[in-house]
């Protein structure tokens, strides 16, 4: 019997019956062992994979639990069959008797073996980095500790001593085996570390980013119109519809025919898409994350400003597959390899956030310390959640951890804005003031509007807490620090106070303020400074200012003033505060004056190590997809937005290489000021959850029951790429030698040399657009995207992408920001197209007519004598990066 992967599985009952016939030439009487009674009639007793076997539920891949059937459950199920009535009066007695039934035991053992085969074929695996060294050390240890285990054996130096003969024989045989295993593992390691190629590139583009001249032809694609309807609930038929919906997303993967692909080529060649990488707001990669990180090294080295990851927690219910005895070490190895590749992508003053629970918290902290250095540990954040685990035998654990490490803690501490976040509610307050300001309302009207905004937030927050079963408390309200800013006044561009009746003429702005203590901080260094307590000293802080109306001395704060009386070149002084009308005087001189603290001057606050965020990431995702449990335990965007805002500036890159449902991308796009994101995810839900979520949030930030609310204002571009995987390389590799064809005396170290050469020389650079590879379990033939692969291998940032048609030939041209032009075309040596190459290069000029291009890189062949600019030829081996072939 032959086992192979197929689109539809064979039921176990059929497999076991076939095996029985093959082994014993008869399967008569086997049915009672394979079937069980149910209300719907007989059904198989052994568990088969369901249609959703590769989906996750509750954090675990369904296929694992769908297969398992313990012995007692199996015997109980078949014991109810009439065929076994003679074994006992009831099902329990019959099940006990079946424990000694040879057929039942054989079938159950067979089922366990098949399940192990499935899990082994579907599980993650690890390739040893130094198998020869490890096995050699183990061999030497065995000889020393086992073969020479006694003092007599160790001291017997006779040439014919049995122990010495055994040791020499074992060493020779084991050494030969180790040499073979090392050759095999080294070959596998090189295939794994070989930088993989891009097999698909397409874009998600907001309609408003596409020149209107292309809209009529886009509307001819019926798949695109159906996509608008299914994904965004928008019926689109005319150009006017597109004009009304500029954030509607065009998925260029829907353009698959030759004319459709030509349209996308033409569109992306338009000057509107010049500086394409600069315009791109996100990169979405479908790949195993180590392979993605490996390929991104040259392009994104020291360009990522913030990394957030939410790795599998290794709880046994998160889909991370491993052998039980290697559970902990496999998880640690997986994380260590990926953190090592992530570190070079961060600049010296950038940080990584990693969510984790208590199970692997200490392991993760140690791994981060090993990677970044323990001296670069920033903090361990505690995220308090709204969850109660009533089944817990001790305490209900309702928090998780976020480990924070910097590339250089010293550089991070020197950055003034790091770990500061926008004060909660500030954006809403600013939006309201922007609406009020043009009408120049009275102070009373402004303050009434502010109180209404604050009260509306309180009501909404209370309702949110009640829905989660939490009683409202002031300290839970993130806006509690914003509520005191309920006083208003008008000030001009220079900060001078303006009366209400003069505000319009002065084009004054509304400033919100709160009454603040003007005293010296508690326990600060100022209190110990020389002169603070000395009358007459310029830095004296216990002076008594004259009241603005009564002109009588006012008392000073008990701790003294927070500023000197007269200017000293410090941040401020009493005289400057009075001149700027920033002091609040009491009704009489008996009250201690206070200071006005303006909201826009304290719009940010330092982040806290304990985060009370009760947002529900699952509800957030369900609102977009209208599907319950489409992804297990997604994080809320509010948590990740907090980290991104604390550590990045607009237009900087954020990365998540355990992207999951795409929460990090959603969080980045939801910020008021645009950042960019790189997400990597390998799961099958990439096409059903991750990518659709990104596309939907590009269109609208507000979704409910799978329907969009108001459309976004931002128009975005997201690049989507798929990479070949290690399994694809293995599956596409033809072995050179079998037992019959292998020459005599080939050294073990050369055992895989033919395969190595086939991998290194597999590309046909004379036909760069038709190099095919079979990918995935379905073995679909897919063309490699050599242009995008080359750009990543070289670390190129794209300035423009053009497709030029000359003499019936397609020239794909990628202009880099460093002045290099990469050209791919079909070419056969000694064909000479140097005139075309020169003409294409001459088109890339600055406004003053000077060339933007300084060098060319072209595939396979060109007559370099006739090419005007310096030119390099790309060969198949130039794509061979990452492996260390012997």
What are the contacts of 288-292 at 24+ separation with CB within 8 A?
Answer: 288/682, 288/725, 288/726, 289/338, 289/657, 289/658, 289/680, 289/681, 289/682, 290/337, 290/338, 290/341, 291/196, 291/723, 291/725, 291/726, 292/657, 292/680, 292/723
Please state, in angstroms and rounded to a whole number, the distance separating the CA atoms of residues 546 and 647. Answer: 45
Angle at 634 between CA 628 and CA 635, to 5 degrees: 140
Please state, in angstroms and rounded to a whole number, the distance separating the CA atoms of residues 305 and 499. Answer: 45
* pLDDT at position 125: 54
Give the CB-side neighbour count of residue 371, counting CA atoms within 13 A: 26
Q: Are strands 676-681 and 497-498 parallel, antiparallel or unpaired?
A: unpaired
837: helix, strand or coil: helix
Among candidate residues 211, 245, 250, the one with its CA nearest the CA of residue 227: 250
Phi-psi region of 641 (alpha: psi -120 to 50; beta: other; left: phi over 0): alpha
Please state, in angstroms and rounded to a whole number, the distance separating the CA atoms of residues 820 and 858. Answer: 11
Contact 205, 252 (CB under 8 A): yes
DSSP assignment of 479-545, as one string? GGGTTT--EEEEE-TT--EE-GGGTTTTT-EEEEEEEE--BPPTT-GGGGSTTTTSTTSTT-----P
Please state, in angstroms and rounded to a whole number, the distance separating the CA atoms of residues 64 and 68. Answer: 7
DSSP assignment of 335-378, as one string? HHHHHHHHGGGEEEEEEEEEEE-SSSHHHHHHHHHHHH-GGGEE
Q: What is the DSSP letter of 144?
A: I
* pLDDT at position 153: 67
Q: Which residues contact 673 (CB under 8 A, 6 or more apart)?
A: 650
Please state, in angstroms and rounded to a whole number, the distance separating the CA atoms of residues 36 and 83. Answer: 11
Q: Which residues contact 647 (CB under 8 A, 6 or more apart)?
A: 305, 306, 350, 351, 418, 419
Contact 828, 766 (CB under 8 A): yes
Give the CB-side neighbour count of residue 149, counting CA atoms within 13 A: 4
DSSP assignment of 753-796, as one string? HHHHHHHHT---TTSTT--EEEETTTTEEEE--HHHHHHHHHTP
431: helix, strand or coil: helix
663: helix, strand or coil: helix
Please state, in angstroms and rounded to a whole number, the distance separating the CA atoms of residues 803 and 139. Answer: 59
Encode burial over 581-594: b for 16+ CB neighbours within 10 A, e otherwise: ebbbbbeebeebbb
Q: Global pTM?
A: 0.77
Please state, in angstroms and rounded to a whole number, the distance separating the CA atoms of residues 176 and 169. Answer: 11
Contact 276, 268 (CB under 8 A): yes
Please state, in angstroms and rounded to a whole number, the distance separating the CA atoms of residues 617 and 345. Answer: 28
Among candidate residues 257, 212, 262, the one with its CA nearest the CA of residue 238: 212
Q: Which residues contact 868 (CB under 8 A, 6 or more apart)?
A: 838, 841
DSSP assignment of 10-48, as one string? PPHHHHHHHHHHHHHS--TT-HHHHEE--TTS-EESSPP
Please state, in angstroms and rounded to a whole number, the distance separating the CA atoms of residues 66 and 399. Answer: 31
Max CA pair span of the chain: 116
Per-residue tokens: 10: 């064979």
* pLDDT at position 232: 96
Among candidate residues 870, 876, 860, the one with its CA nearest the CA of residue 826: 860
Please state, in angstroms and rounded to a whole number, the distance separating the CA atoms of residues 236 and 229. Answer: 8
Q: Helix 327-342 and helix 289-300: axis angle, to 10°? A: 20
For 237, phi and psi rounded to 5 degrees? -140, -25
Q: What is the DSSP letter of 676?
A: E
For 413, phi and psi rounded to 5 degrees? -65, -30
Please state, in angstroms and rounded to a whole number, the distance separating the CA atoms of residues 755 and 764. Answer: 17
Per-residue tokens: 566: 């007269």
Contact 280, 719 (CB under 8 A): yes
Over the chain (886 residues), the average pLDDT of each successive run of 10 is 52 86 77 84 82 48 66 89 87 88 90 74 64 91 84 68 85 91 91 96 97 97 97 96 96 96 96 95 96 97 96 66 55 92 94 92 94 95 72 68 95 88 86 95 96 94 78 83 95 95 95 94 66 91 94 94 88 91 94 94 82 84 89 90 93 96 96 92 92 96 90 93 94 76 77 88 95 89 97 97 93 97 96 96 94 96 96 96 87
Please state, in angstroms and rounded to a whole number, the distance separating the CA atoms of residues 342 and 352. Answer: 9
Number of other CB atoms surrounding residue 762 within 10 Å: 16
Number of other CB atoms surrounding residue 517 within 10 Å: 13
Q: Are strands 509-516 and 487-491 parallel, antiparallel or unpaired?
A: antiparallel
Contact 816, 796 (CB under 8 A): yes
Q: What is the DSSP letter of 405?
A: E
Please state, in angstroms and rounded to a whole number, the distance separating the CA atoms of residues 778 and 784. Answer: 17
Among candidate residues 865, 872, 801, the one with its CA nearest the CA of residue 830: 865
Reported residue count of the chain is: 886
What are the contacts of 433-441 at 24+ separation with CB within 8 A?
Answer: 433/509, 433/510, 433/512, 436/510, 437/509, 437/510, 440/490, 440/500, 440/503, 440/504, 440/508
The partner residues of 680 in beta bridges, in order of sequence, read 285
Please state, in angstroms and rounded to a whole number, the distance separating the CA atoms of residues 63 and 321. Answer: 11
Please state, in angstroms and rounded to a whole number, the distance separating the CA atoms of residues 791 and 814. Answer: 9
Q: Which residues contact 144 (CB under 8 A, 6 or more apart)?
A: none
Q: Which DSSP helix (H) or strand (E) runs through 225? A: helix 222-232
Q: Does a cis peptide bond (omega within 30 degrees of 0) precede residue 830?
A: yes
CA 589 to chain centre: 60
């Amino acid at each position: 019997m032959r086992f192979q992967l197929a689109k539809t599985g064979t039921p176990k009952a059929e497999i076991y019956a076939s095996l029985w016939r093959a082994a014993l030439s008869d399967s008569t009487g086997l049915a009672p062992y394979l079937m069980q009674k149910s209300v719907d009639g007989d059904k198989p007793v052994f568990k088969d994979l369901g249609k959703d076997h590769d989906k996750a539920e509750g954090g675990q891949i369904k296929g694992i639990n769908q297969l398992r059937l313990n012995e007692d459950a199996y015997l109980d199920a078949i014991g109810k069959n009439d065929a076994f009535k003679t074994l006992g009066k009831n099902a329990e007695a019959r099940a006990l008797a079946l424990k000694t039934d040879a057929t039942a035991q054989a079938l159950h053992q067979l089922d366990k073996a098949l399940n192990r085969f499935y899990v082994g074929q579907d599980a993650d695996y690890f390739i040893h980095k130094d198998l020869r060294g490890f096995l050699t050390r183990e061999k030497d240890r065995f000889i020393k500790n086992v073969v020479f285990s006694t003092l007599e054996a160790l001291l017997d130096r006779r040439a014919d001593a049995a122990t010495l003969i055994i040791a020499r024989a074992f060493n020779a045989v084991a050494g030969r085996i180790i040499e073979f295993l090392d050759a095999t593992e080294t070959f596998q390691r090189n295939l794994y570390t070989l930088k993989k190629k891009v097999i698909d590139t397409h874009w998600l583009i907001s309609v408003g980013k596409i020149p209107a001249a292309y809209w009529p032809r886009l509307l001819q694609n019926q798949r695109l119109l159906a996509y608008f309807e299914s994904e965004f609930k928008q019926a689109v038929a005319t150009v006017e519809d597109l004009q009304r919906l500029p954030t509607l997303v065009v998925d260029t993967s829907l353009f698959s025919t030759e004319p459709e692909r030509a349209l996308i080529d033409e569109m992306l060649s338009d000057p509107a898409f010049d500086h394409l990488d600069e315009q791109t707001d996100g990169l979405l990669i479908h790949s195993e994350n180590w392979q993605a990180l490996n390929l991104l090294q040259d392009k994104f080295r020291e360009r990522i400003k913030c990394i957030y990851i939410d790795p599998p927690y290794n709880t046994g219910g998160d889909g991370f597959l491993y052998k039980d005895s290697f559970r902990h070490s496999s998880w640690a190895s997986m994380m260590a390899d990926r953190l090592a590749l992530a570190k070079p992508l961060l600049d010296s003053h950038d940080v990584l956030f990693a969510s984790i629970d208590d199970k692997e918290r200490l392991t993760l902290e140690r791994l981060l310390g090993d990677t970044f250095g323990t001296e670069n540990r920033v903090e361990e954040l505690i995220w308090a959640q709204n969850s109660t685990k009533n089944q817990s035998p001790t305490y209900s654990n309702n928090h998780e951890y976020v480990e924070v490490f910097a590339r250089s803690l010293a550089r991070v501490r020197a950055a003034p804005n790091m770990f500061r976040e926008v004060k909660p509610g500030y954006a809403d307050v600013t939006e309201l003031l922007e609406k009020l300001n043009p009408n120049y309302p009275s102070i009373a009207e402004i303050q009434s509007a502010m109180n209404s905004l604050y009260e509306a937030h309180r009501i909404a927050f209370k309702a949110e807490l009640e829905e989660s079963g939490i009683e409202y408390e002031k300290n839970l309200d993130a806006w509690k620090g914003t509520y005191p800013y309920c006083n208003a006044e008008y000030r001009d561009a220079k900060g001078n106070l303006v009366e209400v009746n003069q505000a319009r003429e002065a084009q004054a702005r509304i400033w919100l303020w709160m009454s603040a203590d003007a005293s010296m901080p508690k326990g600060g260094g100022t209190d110990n400074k020389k002169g603070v307590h000395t009358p007459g000293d310029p830095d004296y802080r216990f002076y008594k200012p004259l009241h603005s109306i009564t002109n009588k001395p006012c008392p000073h704060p008990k701790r003294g003033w927070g500023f000197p009386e007269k200017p000293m070149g410090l941040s401020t002084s009493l005289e400057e505060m009075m001149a700027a009308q920033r002091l609040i005087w009491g009704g009489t001189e008996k009250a201690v004056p206070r200071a006005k603290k303006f909201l826009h001057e304290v719009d940010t606050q330092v982040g806290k190590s304990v985060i009370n965020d009760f947002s529900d990431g699952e509800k957030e995702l369900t609102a977009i997809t209208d599907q319950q449990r489409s992804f297990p335990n997604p994080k809320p965007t509010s948590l990740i937005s907090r980290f991104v805002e604390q550590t990045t500036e607009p237009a900087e890159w954020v990365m998540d290489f355990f992207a999951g449902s795409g929460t990090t991308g959603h969080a980045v796009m939801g910020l008021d000021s645009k950042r960019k994101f790189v997400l990597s995810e390998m799961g099958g839900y990439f096409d059903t959850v991750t990518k659709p979520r990104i596309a939907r949030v590009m269109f609208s930030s507000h979704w409910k029951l799978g329907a969009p609310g108001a459309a976004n204002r931002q128009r975005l571009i997201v690049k989507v790429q798929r990479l070949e995987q290690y399994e694809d390389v293995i599956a596409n590799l033809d072995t050179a030698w079998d037992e019959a064809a292998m020459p005599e005396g080939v050294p073990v170290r050369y055992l895989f040399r033919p395969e190595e050469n086939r991998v290194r020389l597999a590309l046909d650079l004379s036909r760069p657009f038709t190099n095919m590879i079979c990918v995935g379990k379905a073995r679909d033939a897919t063309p490699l995207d050599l242009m995008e692969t080359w750009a990543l291998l070289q670390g190129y940032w794209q300035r423009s992408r053009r497709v030029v048609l000359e003499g019936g030939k397609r020239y794909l041209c990628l202009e880099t920001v460093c002045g290099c032009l990469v050209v791919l075309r079909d070419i056969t040596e000694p064909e000479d197209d140097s005139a075309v190459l020169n003409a294409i290069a001459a088109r890339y000029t600055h406004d003053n007519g000077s060339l933007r291009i300084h060098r060319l890189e072209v595939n396979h062949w060109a007559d370099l004598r006739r090419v005007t600019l310096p030119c390099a030829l790309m060969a198949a081996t130039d794509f061979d990066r990452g492996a260390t072939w012997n």
